[in-house]
């Protein structure tokens, strides 16, 4: 059972022999083990060390074990607690489990049983934390209003808000990165189906051989490897919304079956004969010209008209120059919270560069650029030097220039040199710090830096470390 050395196990037990035995066993497995011999002292230490798991003896002298458990769970709700005790009844164990204890082990301890229980508790705790993080991300996305300020997007959002309440099929057309899935999520969240699931499928990411089984499901024995029945995405979205992104990539034979499902509101799983009624709102998105695909024979015209009950066009970011500052500020606020930073603004030159750039990756590219700059910035202002080369090296374009208050047009070669110098400096400082931490053990340093030994050796030589 290999665990990271940073995981902390905290034992609250007044028997030194047990503490010593458990500490020896767990220390050999890579855990950092702390002990306390009383309940009050245990609460103090737990607050300071922030353990990953507590082993708690219910029979501490002068303390009510269950009351101590209640106080622990009150202060550290998600912290797994494994109860240790010798003479308590089953009723006490049941009460402890109801109060939030992960498990109950009787003394004398079985070391193997302890290790298995501890491993399972840590895995469960890790999964619960991941679920909490995902829930917070979803809540943030839903509670955070869409940031649109350009006249084009204000018109789009009026349409989106209006059609959200009508159960019509929607086709969203826009370049990659313009926010098609975000619009689909907004429609779902503001529809009568908001309390039901929204299932998203990227049609371009599915191999042609798996598209039908993913969308429509399959019955046991339908093909080699189909060992049990599996519902498809339509069934998983029952009562809610199914979002098919990049629908232009669907194979023609799948397009035929999709059209049938939409017209009959029912489907058959692969290998099945039973008709399954479908109650799903369909939203699709595409970044290509579907009418051109129809003329080329790559997309069915009858399916296009079935999907095209209502069409929304998302303009590319390069046509919404007045929106870039607002979006950049919005994403900077997000990454300030995520990375616990307090960056106040962008420099004038950084704002100017962002408004001149064509943003071929649209909003998605803007998010990545702001995230990268926020990570690299150590002060309270994002400077242009933290932008990637494609933004720093942009040449004068024939587009209508964006007005920026008397900002000098000084870029290209000097900024590239500054960017390379800053990157070299950051790399030098990072490698030096890790080498010092590992006492110049290059094997350990390479492992910590997540690069191979040869790469580290070459960088040390190139950077003059």
Mean pLDDT by 10 residues, the chain (465 residues): 65 86 88 88 86 87 80 84 73 78 81 85 75 52 56 88 92 91 91 90 84 90 82 91 93 93 92 91 92 91 92 90 87 91 92 91 92 92 91 58 39 52 77 83 79 77 80
Q: According to the model, what pLDDT value does residue 6 have?
A: 67
What does the pLDDT read at residue 136?
52
The full DSSP string for 69-85 is HHHHHHH-TT--EEEEE
How confident is the model at residue 362, as a pLDDT?
92
Query: What pLDDT is recorded for position 404?
Result: 37
Residue 276 contacts by C-beta under 8 Å, 6 or more apart in sequence?
Answer: 235, 266, 267, 268, 269
pTM equals 0.55
Full set of structural domains in the chain with CATH: 8-131 (3.40.50.2300), 148-315 (3.40.50.300), 318-411 (1.10.8.60), 421-465 (1.10.10.60)
- SS3 labels along 292-327: HHHHCCCCCHHHHHHHCCEEEEECCHHHCHHHHHHH
Which 3 state secondary structure label does DSSP give 30? coil
Q: What is the radius of gyration, based on Cα positions, of the chain?
A: 29
Residue of 297, 287, 294, 206 lying closest to 250 (CA atoms): 206
pLDDT value at residue 1: 43
């Amino acid at each position: 059972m290999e665990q990271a050395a940073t995981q902390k196990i905290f034992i609250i037990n007044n028997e030194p022999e047990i503490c010593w035995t458990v500490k020896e066993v767990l220390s050999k497995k890579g855990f950092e083990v702390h002990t306390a011999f009383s309940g009050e002292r245990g609460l103090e230490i737990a607050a300071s060390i922030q353990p990953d798991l507590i082993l708690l003896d219910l029979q501490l002298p002068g303390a009510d074990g269950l009351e101590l458990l209640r106080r622990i769970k009150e202060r550290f709700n998600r912290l797994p607690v494994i109860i240790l005790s010798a003479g308590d009844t089953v009723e006490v164990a049941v009460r402890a489990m109801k109060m939030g204890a992960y498990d109950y082990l009787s003394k004398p301890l079985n070391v193997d049983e302890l290790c298995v229980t501890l491993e399972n508790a840590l895995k469960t705790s890790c999964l619960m934390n991941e679920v909490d993080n995902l829930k917070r991300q979803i809540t943030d996305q839903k509670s955070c209003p869409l940031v649109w300020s350009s006249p084009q997007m204000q018109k789009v959002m009026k349409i989106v808000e209006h059609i959200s309440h009508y159960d019509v099929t929607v086709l969203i057309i826009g370049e990659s990165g313009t926010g098609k899935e975000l619009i689909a999520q907004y429609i779902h969240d503001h529809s009568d189906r908001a309390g039901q699931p929204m299932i998203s499928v990227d049609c371009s990411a599915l191999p042609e051989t798996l598209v039908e089984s993913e969308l429509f499901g399959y019955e046991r024995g339908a093909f080699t490897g189909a060992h049990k029945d599996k519902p498809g995405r339509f069934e998983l979205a029952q009562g809610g919304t199914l979002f098919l992104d990049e629908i232009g990539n669907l194979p023609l034979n799948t397009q035929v079956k999709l059209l049938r499902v939409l017209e009959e509101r029912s489907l058959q799983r692969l290998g099945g004969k039973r008709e399954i009624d479908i109650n799903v709102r369909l939203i699709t998105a595409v970044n290509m010209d579907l009418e051109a695909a129809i003329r080329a024979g790559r997309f069915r015209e009858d399916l296009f008209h079935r999907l095209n009950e209502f069409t929304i066009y998302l303009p590319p970011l390069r046509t919404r120059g007045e929106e870039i500052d607002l979006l950049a500020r919005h994403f900077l606020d997000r990454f300030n919270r995520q990375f616990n930073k307090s960056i106040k603004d962008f420099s004038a030159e950084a704002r100017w560069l962002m408004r001149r750039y064509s943003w071929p990756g649209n909003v998605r590219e803007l998010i990545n650029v702001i995230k990268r700059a926020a990570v690299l910035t150590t002060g309270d202002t994002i400077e242009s030097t933290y932008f990637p080369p494609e933004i720093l090296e942009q040449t004068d374009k024939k587009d209508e220039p964006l007005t920026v208050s008397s900002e000098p047009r000084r870029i290209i070669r000097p900024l590239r040199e500054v960017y390379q110098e800053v990157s070299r400096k950051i790399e030098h400082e990072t490698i030096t710090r890790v080498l010092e931490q590992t006492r110049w053990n290059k094997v350990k340093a390479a492992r910590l830096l997540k690069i191979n030994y040869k790469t580290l050796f070459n960088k040390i030589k190139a950077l003059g470390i």
